[in-house]
Amino acid sequence: MDFGIKGKVALITGGDSGIGQATAKLLAAEGVKIALLDKTTDPLQSTVEEINKIGEAIAVQADLRNLEAVEAAKQQIINQYGGVNILVNCAGITGAQKEFLKLSDEEWLETIEVDFMAAVRVCRAFIPEMQKAGWGRIVLVGSEDAVQPYTDEMPYCAAKAAVLNLTKNLSKAYAKDGILINSVSPAFIATPMTDKMMQERAEKLGVEFDQAIDSFLKEKRPHLVLQRRGKAPEVAAVIGFLCSQQSSFVVGSNYRVDGGSVATVHH
């Protein structure tokens, strides 16, 4: 399928690994110029070098919890590419995993800052650029946890539910400007974030890494009917479609890429 977006410029946050990295590679192969943003240095540059073998990319280092850093990143991208047509927000953390009564305000706020407010900040920064062009695509990465919450991940679940609400609100506000905004909700994808979760589980249970994954699927994700971790390119494929000209009648939607993990027909 020809996505019809050759020559467009995409900003991908949280792009040094996982879903962000896979999406960057997919879009670069479609002829999209990539601005890859993360707060890291070495992994980010390494990923940019990989992408430059198949397309064109620049590294943008910024902490999305800092408004000034977001504005500086915006200026860097405009100076390099003149604007942004596509925004994919993959930046996120798992956050504190505790019983509700043991969670502090600081732990709640840290997760909300990264998983929700980062999306608010980048959308606020780059929607005006898309308005000028009269065309835009925004994909915000949510999670199965947004509609099927887990009691040991409350801050993350709440932040991701807010992302879905933000997606719908923004889609209603800016579709008139030619900006189509949607979300994608993965579940248990093989990324550095879930690798860390599974390594901690393996150490806690005194088992091998693969055994930790198997027990997690059985005990914590019984509705994930495919019974495996998803792959980052599988999520990127859906994101790529939503960034394309082919998604011209898709707006305000949430696409689940969850192996069947959400146990309801709704959402």
pLDDT 10s digits, 135-183: 999 999 999 999 999 998 999 999 999 999 999 999 999 999 999 999 9
Which helix (DSSP H) or strand (DSSP E) does residue 137 occupy?
strand 136-141
| Residue ranges making up the domain that contains 92 | 9-257
Which pLDDT score, from 0 to 100, does residue 2 have? Answer: 86
Each residue of 175-212: pLDDT tens digit? 999 999 999 999 999 988 889 989 999 999 999 999 99
Which helix (DSSP H) or strand (DSSP E) does residue 217 occupy?
helix 209-220
Domain assignment present for 223: yes
How far out from the chain centre does Cα 156 lie? 13
Domain assignment present for 180: yes
Of the candidates 226, 215, 155, 154, the one whose C-alpha atom is nearest the C-alpha of residue 186 is 226
Q: How far, CA to CA in Å, does 137 sit from each of 12, 122, 126, 193?
A: 12, 13, 11, 26
Count of domains in the chain?
1
Q: Compute the average pLDDT of residues 58-75.
A: 96
Domain assignment present for 48: yes
Which pLDDT score, from 0 to 100, does residue 266 have? Answer: 66
Tokens of 183: 């979300």
* DSSP secondary structure letter of residue 64: T
Domain assignment present for 29: yes
CATH code of residue 234: 3.40.50.720
Domain assignment present for 1: no
Name the β-bridge partners of 38.
Answer: 61
Domain assignment present for 175: yes
Inter-residue contact 191 to 16 (CB < 8 Å) = no
Domain assignment present for 73: yes
- Based on the residue annotation, tell me whether 156 is a catalytic residue of this protein: yes
Domain assignment present for 215: yes
Q: Which of 81, 156, 174, 255 is catalytic?
A: 156
Say how far apart CA 212 and CA 204 lie, in whole Å.
Answer: 9
